[in-house]
Amino acid sequence: MGTEDGIQLLPAINDDHGGVIVKLTETMDSDVFRGALRASMSQWKNEGKRGVWIKLPIGLAHLVEIAVKEGFWYHHAEPNYLMLVYWIPESICTIPANATHRVGVGAIVLTENRELLVVQEKSGKLRGTGIWKIPTGVVDEGEDICVAAVREVKEETGIDAEFLEVVAFRQTHKAFFEKSDLFFLCFLHPLSFNIQKQELEIEAAQWMPIEEFAAQPFNLNSNVARHITDLCFAKLDKNYVGFTPVSLPSSDDRPSYLYMNARDLCSSTPTTIN
Amino acid sequence: MGTEDGIQLLPAINDDHGGVIVKLTETMDSDVFRGALRASMSQWKNEGKRGVWIKLPIGLAHLVEIAVKEGFWYHHAEPNYLMLVYWIPESICTIPANATHRVGVGAIVLTENRELLVVQEKSGKLRGTGIWKIPTGVVDEGEDICVAAVREVKEETGIDAEFLEVVAFRQTHKAFFEKSDLFFLCFLHPLSFNIQKQELEIEAAQWMPIEEFAAQPFNLNSNVARHITDLCFAKLDKNYVGFTPVSLPSSDDRPSYLYMNARDLCSSTPTTIN
């Protein structure tokens, strides 16, 4: 690519919002990059472009300073790249905000004999305390909550389980640096019972009578753990209902999920809220 | 700070996980930074430190390349800084994952006269279509979902409202770049009725009979909008219950919230799940 006066332009594709995305993959000399960036910016301004994104692989870290000096700022980063952005128009910047939340799941796997699947972890703040907890984990990038809960149970304990519903969720702030955390408590139905614990992270795993789990001193003191116990009993002994996933059609053949109280939605006994 | 042979060390504080955090605030020459980083790394290795974090303000972008050449990689970035990280031990890296989700809210504000608070936006993909939608917005960094819903309604329409519950949530992937999106549909009780629309983002705002909202062709075709309509009718005419926030004590005097089906949890009519 080049202009009439021979200066190289940066390879760019248009985005859906009137802007352009530059994805550099091959190494580039600093001076060449500076010249190409200036020429490209000039062209994009003439073309009325809005947001300009530059995705720099970590191997091109020497170009970060140059983009910043040309007025770009950071948008987000992953281990192997940094995304920089610039807003050309004088109108209000509509660059979308960065991701703000990490998402975790906790899996409540209860048998019909009132036994709860519990583990002791090899690391973390409960390490070495002898406290039994439910399997928990972080939702991977691009992973559905209902998939993550099943995966964590399988990974930590070898148990196959079917996802039923989200029974509660917690939002906390400043979980790490300035980021927040959303933790989804999920209810699962066990499909197998022979525990094969993971060696790396799990010290021990077992099926524990729910009353015994509830009686752990930790659960009596810890607010969240006590709520988990309450939810187990509400699920076993009352008619507690959470949010079940309903698949929504999506453009890329992969459904996304809307989680809601399907029982009440389908209820055939109308009442009024007043 | 310095070592015995006079080489400057980087200013660092210990974190809670056996690692150190370097926060540079003043400008530093590239060569001085390289020397100080190498001397500091050597000392931290001797001390058995684990994760090393370097927070570089965007004004120090010239130091990014040096940290990367010393083996650091990117963890996350915000507009004005880049966080780099390095894992010293030979054991498995337990550096926490980056934030993966953006969080949004949609506010269902229904009057007892079966009127829904709706807006037309000046931008976005519904711009100029004449379609009425519920107020929506992105949850700010550190903001509670229940606070964000009230704020968005106030900002867009001037209406004061009380947060009641989350009635559903949707998880979608690749909402922007590789990041995912969690969208919480919230039910609010209006405390005022005189609409004062925001000029910047909102083309029009009004109270609309829910049957009229439901009859918009867009709602008949759009899966999510149709679910919103279903939820409105379930709330008005049935006994639909969502998740209400229960405050949890936290260490910094600011409560976090656990959202759950409080009605079923407090139910006094036990049943069994079988």
Q: Distance between CA A182 and CA A175 in Å, rounded? A: 10
Rg (CA), chain B: 25
Closest CA to B53 of B16, B101, B27: B16
What confidence category does residue A252 fall into, taking pLDDT thresholds of 50, 70 and 90? low
Instruction: Find, in chain B, the residue whose alpha carbon is nearest to that of A79.
Output: B74
Please give the single-letter amino acid code of residue A42: S
Give me the residue from B112, B179, B239 closest to A99, CB to CB. Answer: B179
pLDDT for A124 beyond 80: no
Confidence of residue A5 (pLDDT cuts 50, 70, 90): low
Q: For the stretch A33-52, what's the b/e string if a residue is b when 16 or more beta carbons lie within 10 angstroms of its beta carbon? A: bbebbebbbeebeeeebbbb
- Contact with chain A for residue B13, Cβ under 8 A: no
Residue B34: per-residue pLDDT: 96
Identify the bridge partners of residue B76 per DSSP, sorted by sequence position: B83
Residue of chain A nearest B60, judged by CA positions:
A65
Inter-chain touch B182–A182, beta carbons under 8 Å: yes
pLDDT of residue A123: 75
Among B148, B11, B141, residue whose Cα is nearest residue A179? B141
Query: What is the per-residue pLDDT across A72-115, written as a single tens digit (0 to 9) for each?
Result: 999 999 999 999 999 999 888 878 888 999 999 999 999 999 99
Which range has the worst mean pLDDT, A62-71, A103-112, A122-131, A155-164?
A122-131
Per-residue pLDDT of chain B (274 residues; tens, 9 = 90+): 555 566 789 999 998 788 999 989 888 999 999 999 999 999 999 999 999 999 999 999 999 999 999 999 999 999 999 999 999 998 888 788 889 999 999 999 999 999 999 999 887 777 788 889 999 999 998 999 999 999 999 999 999 999 999 999 999 998 777 789 999 999 999 999 999 998 888 999 999 999 999 988 877 767 788 889 899 999 888 789 999 999 887 766 677 899 999 988 886 544 443 3
Q: What is the DSSP letter of A70?
A: T
ipTM of the complex: 0.86
Report pLDDT for A122: 84
To the query of whether residue A155 is one of the catalytic residues in this protein, the response is yes
User: Are B100 and A103 in contact (CB < 8 Å)?
Assistant: yes
Over residues A198-221, the mean pLDDT reads 88
Give A239's pLDDT tier (boundaries 50, 70, 90): confident
The answer to whether A247 contacts chain B (CB < 8 Å) is no
A positions 92-111 inside 8 Å of B (CB): 92, 94, 96-103
Interface check A91 vs B, CB under 8 A: no
Beta bridge partners of A105: A137, A184
Q: How far apart are CA B210 and CA B118, in angstroms?
A: 10
**Mean pLDDT lowest for which of A34-48, A109-123, A218-232, B203-217?**
A218-232
A55-69, A215-229, B228-242: least confidently modelled range? A215-229
Round to whole Å and give the CA distance between A209 and A206: 10
> Torsions phi, psi of B130, nearest 5?
75, 5
Distance from CA of A177 to the nearest CA of B (A): 10
**Residue partners of B251: CB distance under 8 A and separation at least 6:** none
Question: What is the rounded distance in angstroms from the CA atom of residue B85 to the CA atom of residue B274?
Answer: 50
Catalytic-role residue among B70, B155, B201, B203:
B155
The three-class DSSP label of residue A32 is helix
